Structure 1
């Protein structure tokens, strides 16, 4: 399941960055990929829809969110935790 989450996350992020998912490096920041605040919000919506989870994200103050957006790997790890929490 972990690889599936990673690949889906790379696809979501790539869509916002308008690049191929294979170009999404796990240590890249959203800024590195050219994703702005609107793209981030759209990515959060896509994550919630794709994984059927509620992302603890504050669009008004992303730095104050419980969802770590520091790089792609941290976002993948956060989504894996949300999916595992949902599974019980």
Structure 2
């Protein structure tokens, strides 16, 4: 998967959370990236800030089993314009 959204998320993981680039795969569950629950929430906040939007918890709870980077990209790319923070 190579999209601007995935690349931005990958850069956040690599630079801010010290996740090895080799571990950043689209279908890898977020819980397998070696981040504890607090770091997972901080990661979601960092992604929201990078894309200037807020992701409702019902769309994406990073602690939920099976949420992947691909799913995170889909949620961001499908966010309605009103989800954009002002």
Q: Normalised by the size of structure 1, how large is the TM-score?
A: 0.70
After superposing on structure 2, the runs of 4+ consecutive aligned residues of structure 1 that deviate more than 4 Å are none
Deviations 1:8-61 (A, max 9, x none): 011223332x1233530111112211111111111111111110111112xxxx
| Structure 1 residue 78 corresponds to structure 2 residue 75 | yes
**Root-mean-square deviation over aligned CA pairs:** 2.2
Bigger relative contact order (CA 8 A; separation at least 6): 2
Take 1:50 and 1:81, find their aligned partners in 2: how far apart are those partners?
A: 16
Unaligned runs of 5+ in 1: 58-64
Q: Normalised by the size of structure 2, how large is the TM-score?
A: 0.71
Aligned 1:1-88 pairs, distance under 5 A:
3-14=3-14, 15-16=16-17, 18-57=18-57, 65-67=58-60, 69=62, 70-82=67-79, 85-86=80-81
